[in-house]
Amino acid sequence: MTHQVIRSDSPAERPRKMLIIFATLHFVFFFASLIAIPMFAPGARIPNPFGNDEGVRVFYNTASSAIRVCDFFQLESALCLAVLSPLLSDALSTLNKRSGAAWMTLAGGSGAAVMLSLAALVSWAVASPGASDVGPVLHVFQFIPFLLGGPAWAGFFAIFVAGICMGTSGILPRWLRGAGIFIGCVSALATPVLLTIVFAPYLPVARFLGFVWLIVVSVYLARQRGVETTRPGPLRADAGSI
């Protein structure tokens, strides 16, 4: 009896090739959101959420169109993350049978995508025509996108990264998983910005290192081959037994 080696490169595993595309688009759209305001509103300065009311009002009055373009790209980035999360969760389930890690990846990534999308939509609403005339409450409205896209996103992103690191034990290189653990810790450290602005610098560090890390992880996972299995082949008559 012979055995045939079968690779599990089935159509069900092919979506893993989309990991690289959506991880890259997630970064590209967010980067586009960052350069939208300097491009469409040159000279406009993004105000500190903890700053004074006048700076916030001037910014929204002079750069409202640019803000809405920025929010559009941020929403697109969030949608890419919403697609990337189940793809990564499915890849972890295929490569590693740790269902808990796959669920953490799905929950964390989906939560981060929801927070980022809500931040974009609320910011668009604040920048809509006439919204800047609401008086002092405008400053409160500016805090909502910051909180959703800042500490709320960071908390879910920390869970997302932790799930990937747990589910890729023995699959990703040790240095790459170590980098993920570091990024997850930095993301978690960004959540106390609710208590003090001292933790605010952790937000951009977690976000941009996270972009790079997700792209590298997606490349590694997309290149993983399916598990090899064997099945009995057809019986062959031994010439010596005839």
Phi/psi of residue 230, nearest 5 degrees:
-125, 150
Q: How far apart are CA 17 and CA 152, in angstroms?
A: 29
Q: 3-state class of 55 per DSSP?
A: helix
Structure letter (DSSP) for residue 229: E
> Directed axis angle between helix 99-126 and helix 64-95, to 10°?
170
CB 77 within 8 A of CB 36: no
Neighbour-count burial for 55-92, b at 16+ CB within 10 Å, e otherwise? ebbebbeebbebbbbbbbbbbbbbbbbbbbbebbbbbb
Q: How far apart are CA 208 and CA 201, in angstroms?
A: 12
Q: What does the pLDDT profile of the chain (242 residues) look like in tens digits?
A: 444 433 444 444 556 678 999 999 999 999 999 999 889 888 777 777 777 777 777 787 788 889 999 999 999 999 999 999 999 998 888 776 667 888 999 999 999 999 999 999 999 988 887 665 656 677 777 888 999 999 999 999 999 999 999 988 888 899 999 999 999 999 999 999 999 889 999 999 999 999 999 999 999 988 876 533 334 444 444 444 44
Q: pLDDT value at position 4?
A: 44
CA-based nearest residue to 193, from 235, 144, 152: 152
CB 119 within 8 A of CB 149: yes
Q: pLDDT value at position 70?
A: 94
Q: pLDDT value at position 135?
A: 61
Q: How far apart are CA 105 and CA 145, in angstroms?
A: 24
List the structure tokens of 203.
């937000």
